[in-house]
Amino acid sequence: MTAADQRADGIILHPVGVVKSEIKNPVLGATENGIELKGKIKNIRQQHQQTQTLISELEIFNEFDGILEGIDEFSHIMVLYWPHLISEERRSLRKVHPMGRKELPEKGIFSTCSPARPNPVLVSTVRLLGREGNTLRVQGLEAVDGSPIIDIKPFVKMAHGADNPVVPEWMKKIHEELEGGNP
């Protein structure tokens, strides 16, 4: 069987809802040479830290009434969403400098958290603050306003956590800087 035979061409996803957020534009912008940061790392760090406390709403479409039953028993949920502002051109990228940082070596897109992916399905684990009908209030979601929601799952550490995960040094460096360490 060839790779083409194994493809599930024609996969169709239908959004179950939409993100309502104060974030109106993506953090990263595209250039001819890949992705570069809009602004300096200080601004990205500031935005990341603000996102940690940002409250967003997940509006689930009325046709899915009842689908949220029991979700409010969890403290955290995983939100799978589609970054609708990612262009087709950016979806064709195969390698990038992580976070647009030219001093870091290029990595394959699947080694990064870049939203520019062949199938830009993003996932975030966020704190669930409450539910009112078909609307969830969450904290810490870095999705742009209007992003279609593909799915929501409860976060269960036994199923979704990993004991002692290993990440490369370049990823540790990025996260230290985002959390307020040395730029």
Q: Is residue 66 part of a domain?
A: yes
Q: Is residue 161 part of a domain?
A: no
Q: Is residue 166 part of a domain?
A: no
The pLDDT tens digits for 133-178 are 999 999 999 999 999 999 999 999 888 778 888 989 988 888 887 7
Q: Is residue 86 part of a domain?
A: yes
- Tokens 């179950």 belong to residue: 16
Torsion sign (Cα): 161, 167, 172, 173: negative
| Domains held by the chain: number | 1
Nearest C-alpha neighbor of 143 from the set 21, 28, 3: 21
The pLDDT tens digits for 10-36 are 889 999 999 999 988 876 543 333 334
Contact 77, 155 (CB under 8 A): yes
Q: Is residue 8 part of a domain?
A: no
CATH of the domain at 49: 2.40.30.70
Rounded to whole angstroms, the Cα distance separating 160 from 121 reads: 17
Domain that holds residue 102: 13-156
